[in-house]
Structure 1
């Protein structure tokens, strides 16, 4: 799926000066500065009402979205506010940035205020967290730096149960004891673009609470898009978000998904290779957009490294390449499918291509037997010649990947009947992305029904708080509140759950 333009995520930094009365002092730093500092004050009181204010300062890498949380005690409740989107669950209060003040550079501050009710004179909050990171406390000087979207080096808490190891049996994905497993879940976008744009590793929180919220929809799978230059730590990517730090963050997210019983699908999304032909997403040689095919220079190395990292964990599935479109670079379907499988010098593509066979070989060369997914042409929307051109897999654990949106060419039951049914009869078929840009769910309802009727897998795009008409986005916050579009997937997954 193409992503919203970067301007959707970037907004001008704003700061509001607030008068202070009862101020919570910031802890003094003895070493390095705290990751963030927060000043809290009660700026007015009357009867059972009061007015509160916070001033948040970010002392680490720049942020393009912030979420401040703290607890109000003794029955205090937030009733409204300004300069942030305020909400409360139990005692926990959350303030999320508005669209215009989400950008918070290093050393920048932003202020927000709220109105509340209190049956008495409750104490001021003691602990504040910015995107899951505790503020006003000196960092451990021996600890590695943390990512602004959440500390990837934190050990993942235990969840509801580990995801099972998977393998292919005929046209089904099955667990070690032969039990069939459909993959039903969501995509968690961010790892493919945040790092290469120098803005972090993930878009929004990926801590245990955030992953638990996905599981709360009764999802049993999470697809995790990745960037090859960030994983390999290539030059041009900020080292704070690349190489070992990036790999560790991905491993942490995979572990959290498994701890909550969800199958992680790690997927190569953005790759190197300069392409300026038909439907080019960018002219950059670096991995800053979707390219028509993976590149021979780095993509096999990426998969050798990823497979080496997860080869002892067959609960992890590998999706070789997000949305191939060599068919846009050439008018010959035969040439496009040959390019897809064999790579090399492909018509209309200026760099040397790694074909699907190259990537399968890279994975299997490590000894990894994990399930592999391979999407077809037309942004993975065309599987018409997938069986004819499918790569050889010595492990016998190859599945077909498919993407479908309301604006795709193959977006009807008749097309699915003619092109998907023959593939699904021979190999497992996983719709790694389903969605629509209508801020509704009429189309995905049809997709889910067809895939349910054929006992197939599907995952919604995407678990990110974007505009559902430009994303599309399943959620309006990382607690799992669905958009009008996301409500269809959430309710359907919950209805299917045992």
Structure 2
């Protein structure tokens, strides 16, 4: 890879009135007032053969503007192929970036940033001139304020802070059966360039080594495997991404037998880390090592598991520190037992780290939220007080135990369980965004670096597109800024009859509420809605207009805008009670014919006639979404899985209660007998 040094615009842009004239033809004339002064910082953050990424920061040196377009001409014929935080178009040699709904306003003295991936051929010279809303930006350049500090002479706390935010290249080099065996493409330079361009400052590189290790006593790692890992690390470092390298699924493939086959397992672990440490000992400080992912041991939990985790961590520390080169003071990352954040697990790791007395050591835990919410079981379909308390408590514990004691913490994996593009509907979208927003705020507040676990459910790696752009915007904004939310993201209206008013509670999160918009049109306070304290009320007249012909489903999408962060989306939905029909069919493929009538499934209860719980989870009547039941909206069915039906007592009727996000419920009775299910609507 031929990578050029970073190129930045460090001089005032020259006069370019022609840019403003050409720009109006791309998006139409800017409706907001012209800027009175501006400066631009244009930075090429990465470059490879035929492509590059760039960050652009625009500072408003005049009065505040609401609605902006930045225009420039590429001197070498470059083209923008993909952009984020702005809409970019080009015509007649002029490129124009236009604001999105959530970053239209730039206060006096404030800045707005966007980035893009571009193509080039022959040369990649920086633009010489920019204009903002028709005004030439000749106010000089502004220094970037978010560039992470260099890690060469950094403390552990500084280096870990510079890794924020991080991203896992999940289900790739850690996949069993080969790098592409679990559905992701090969890691490429372009992927890592894209990850950097999206605002990430580090990657966690999970690697499973077992399939590439020879027999004992040497346990030699296949040289091709080691060099492939090195290649990916090299590419990441070229993109100014820090890298956290680990030993991943080996934790349950063979390391878990440390409790039962101690000496043989320890010898293999020592041989593996000896080879890894030697291969990378001359790499720069931006490469760090994690001893093992989610350490776990057969039959050894609690304090017994803590002791074995400590043994692996100490062996790892001794091997790496004794291997020479830059490993003398490389950042080493040590996990708790199963990377669990319960206080006893944190205390055990704190004792280990205190005993090492090594300033270049960090702690790591994982966090997927309150388990019932994370998988949608036991009726936890919303980001409620219990889910929030679990989240806040986790970050507070790691802060109190480690950060306040000067030990940095990396949350090496975070997301929610069961969220996957292959399993749609497990989580309500708005409730999921509230969880993500709160987690990022707690990370900032408690000084924890987070690394998003992405096995392909967030970033589609073939197209380099986020599967949910709006969700990504929350991730990107949440690194530095809170976003306002509300008690729900939908208002449900009946399919017929009079429409009344409806209210939501605003969660301002320290921000000012600035109104409601439908696309580019601001709704009228008073006529369309009112605000009293934190209560946002939609008027009957406003909802009637927004509902239109009241076709089932989403009739209108609104944005509640706040003084910072990403706007909160609110859907106006028309629905009636879902209707279930009688059916008979085999247990392997049983589905209930269902007219959803615009509604969306939240959860399902299952009980026998005597009131006891039926299904795979007997401790709760609310079964786990997807593994026990799932909707198929396009087919008009509610599917009961073979796993659920296998757990139902043969011949005993079960009453199912389906709960929908509108608040509606539908009851249904099933009896499974001899591999056949008979279902009756109640």
TM-score w.r.t. length of structure 2: 0.38
Structure 2: how far apart are the matches of 1:197 and 1:421?
Answer: 41
C-alpha distance in 2, partners of 1:196/1:379?
Answer: 25
Whether 2:475 is the aligned partner of 1:489: answer yes
In the TM superposition, residue 248 of structure 1 has moved relative to its aligned partner by: 1.2
The CA deviation at 1:477 is 3.6
Distance 1:458 1:385, change over 3 A: same
- Deviations along 1:182-234, whole A, 9 cap, x unmatched? 43120002344435458669931322111111112110000000122245455
* Alpha-carbon offset, residue 433 of structure 1: 0.8
Question: Radius of gyration: which is bigger?
Answer: 2
Change (3 A) 1:185 1:251: same
1:227 match: secondary structure: coil
Give the match's secondary structure for 2:170.
Answer: coil
Between stretches 333-342 and 378-387, larger displacement belongs to: 378-387
Q: Aligned partners of 1:390 and 1:248: how far apart in 2?
A: 31
Q: Which residue is equivalent to 2:162?
A: 181
- Give the distance between the partners of 1:486 and 1:388, measured in 2 at CA: 37
Task: Check if 1:453 corresponds to 2:445.
Answer: yes
Q: Give 1:396 deviation, angstroms.
A: 2.9
- Answer whether contact 2:245 2:290 (CA < 8 A) is retained: yes
Listed one character per residue, the Cα deviations across residues 14-39 of structure 1 (whole Å, up to 9, x for unaligned) are: xxxxxxxxxxxxxxxxxxxxxxxxxx
Q: For residues 253 and 182 of structure 1, do their structure 2 counterparts lie closer, same or farther at Cα, with a shift above 3 Å needed?
A: closer
d(CA) in 2 for partners of 1:254, 1:474: 22
Helix, strand or coil for the counterpart of 2:397? helix
Q: Which residue of 2 aligns with 1:359?
A: 316
Q: What is the alpha-carbon distance in structure 2 between the residues aligned to residue 479 and residue 198 of structure 1?
A: 18
Q: Equivalent residue for 2:223?
A: 244
Q: Distance in 2 between matches of 1:395 and 1:230?
A: 33
* Alpha-carbon displacement from aligned partner over 1:256-298 (angstroms, at most 9, x marks no partner): 111111101111102277679xxx9xxxx89xxxx99x94132
Aligned residues: 296
Match of 1:214 in 2: 195
Distance 1:205 1:273, change over 3 A: closer
CA displacement 1:417-438 (0-9 Å, x = unmatched): 2344221112011111110133
- For structure 1, which segment, 209-218 or 381-390, has the greater mean C-alpha deviation from structure 2 after superposition? 381-390
Aligned to 2:274: 304
Aligned residue in 2 for 1:98: none
Tell me the TM-score normalised to structure 1 length: 0.51
**Is residue 444–residue 479 contact of structure 2 (8 Å, CA) maintained in 1?**
no
Structure 2 unmatched ranges of 5 or more = 1-78, 82-146, 373-388, 420-426, 483-682
SS in 1 for 2:362: strand
1:205 is aligned to 2:186: yes
Q: 1:274 to 1:448 in 2, by over 3 A?
A: closer
Task: Summarize the Cα distance change of 1:474–1:201 in structure 2 as closer, same or farther, 3 Å threshold.
Answer: closer
- RMSD across aligned C-alpha pairs, in angstroms? 4.0
Per-residue CA deviations over 1:117-140 (Å, capped at 9, x if unaligned) read xxxxxxxxxxxxxxxxxxxxxxxx
Counterpart of 1:131 in structure 2 is none
The superposition leaves residues 424-466 of structure 1 with CA deviations (integer Å, 9 ceiling, x where unpaired) of 112011111110133643322221111111232111001x43x
Q: For the residues of structure 2 that align with 1:323 and 1:453, how far apart are their CA atoms?
A: 25
The verdict on how the C-alpha distance between 1:454 and 1:233 changes in structure 2, with shifts beyond 3 A counting, is same
Change (3 A) 1:308 1:164: farther
Tell me which of 278, 287, 297 is aligned to 1:316.
287
User: Would you tell me which structure has more helix in proportion to its own residues?
Assistant: 2
Structure 1 residue 404 corresponds to structure 2 residue 379: no
Q: Is the CA contact (8 Å cut-off) linking 1:168 and 1:428 kept in structure 2?
A: no
Q: Which residue does 1:336 correspond to in 2?
A: 305
Match of 2:402 among 423, 427, 430: 423
Matched, 1:414 2:400: no
Structure-2 separation of matches of 1:441 and 1:413: 16
Q: Helix, strand or coil: the match of 2:402? A: helix
Structure 1 residue 251: deviation in Å?
A: 0.9
- Corresponding position of 2:352: 389
- Using CA pairs under 8 Å that are at least 6 residues apart, name the structure with larger relative contact order, 1 or 2: 1
**How far apart, CA to CA, are the structure 2 residues paired with 1:398 and 1:163?**
18
Distance 1:265 1:167, change over 3 A: farther
Structure 1 unmatched runs, 5+ = 1-89, 93-160, 343-354, 466-472
Distance change (3 Å), C-alpha of 1:418 and 1:301:
same
SS for the counterpart of 2:320 is: helix
SS for the counterpart of 1:399 is: strand
Asked if structure 2 preserves the Cα contact closer than 8 Å seen for 1:217 and 1:493, the reply is no
2:455 aligned with 1:476: no
Deviation at 1:364, TM superposition (A): 1.2
**Paired position in structure 2 for 1:190:** 171
